[in-house]
Amino acid sequence: MMRVSPDDATHRACAVKIDGLHKSFGQLEVLKGISLEAREGDVVTLIGSSGSGKSTLLRCINLLEVPNAGTLSVGAEEIQFTPSRGGRPPRLNPHKVRGIRMRLGMVFQSFNLWNHMTVLENIIEAPLFVHGVARAEAVEFAEQLLAKVGLYEKRDVYPAFLSGGQQQRAAIARALAINPRVMLFDEPTSALDPELVGEVLKVIRDLADEGRTMILVTHEMSFARQVSSHVAFLHKGIVEEEGPPAKVFHNPQSERCRQFVSAQHALA
């Protein structure tokens, strides 16, 4: 299984860097100054209880939510968030937003496929109409991706005729179709029946083995231990503990992290 070594981190380019990120919804402060980075080839897994800020952090990275303060860098693109009057999120330069999003592929809890399009049409939509890729090239790449996720034979099928696991694998192929620098996964198996979870995790594991840079939110702790190069435990909007999976899962220093890991072991 291919893994990057923590020792070579300084020799790998920084793919995503978050510095002092804050996000509030009205009076509720969800992210309280989070700093985190992922270098090329890293698989960074965010763990923590529901409400700790994991999904909000992912949505801020992809600018589906605008942070109130802090700095976000994706490759060479950087945005500094300076609060507007009254603490409202700042207005963003749309070209900056586009520059960030073109480098990110995101897979959500729900599959979010367009039901009126076939699987193949779902996957070529963004390359054709957002990135301006020629149709023949987009179709060829889409078919390669469908083969990668085990869905080549389903390319002309509509999403309603796929299982949940197949739909999520199609959603992963769609996110890969823009050839992103970083993949973001927000609880990609939480909406699946238990017997379908494994097929989606296998696809994500294969991407990790290829050296794909990923930031992943999951409650699948065994999978996180196996696939991650770095784990961050979030609690009440801060990074309470972080480090290699062996340290976070087997020798956590934070009492809250110890309690969380112990509880997850008990549920396994």
Q: Give the tens place of pLDDT for each residue, 152-207.
A: 999 999 999 999 999 999 999 999 999 999 999 999 999 899 999 999 999 999 99
Q: What is the value of pTM for the model shown?
A: 0.92
What's the CA gap between 134 and 144, in Å, rounded? Answer: 16
Query: So what's the pLDDT on residue 117?
Result: 96
Q: Calculate the dihedral angle through the C-alpha atoms of 13, 123, 64, 115, rounding to the nearest 10 degrees.
A: -160
Helices 164-176 and 135-148 pack at an angle, to 10 degrees, of 130
CA distances from 205 to 16, 79, 164 (A): 20, 31, 18
The phi, psi pair for 40, rounded to 5°, reads -55, 130
Identify the burial level of 124 via C-beta atoms within 10 angstroms of its C-beta, where 0-12 means exposed, 13-18 middle and 19 or more buried.
Answer: buried
Query: So what's the pLDDT on residue 85?
Result: 73
Query: So what's the pLDDT on residue 266?
Result: 65
**Low-confidence residues of the chain: pLDDT under 70:** 1-10, 86-87, 266-268
Query: So what's the pLDDT on residue 249?
Result: 94
Chain centroid, CA 147 distance in Å: 22
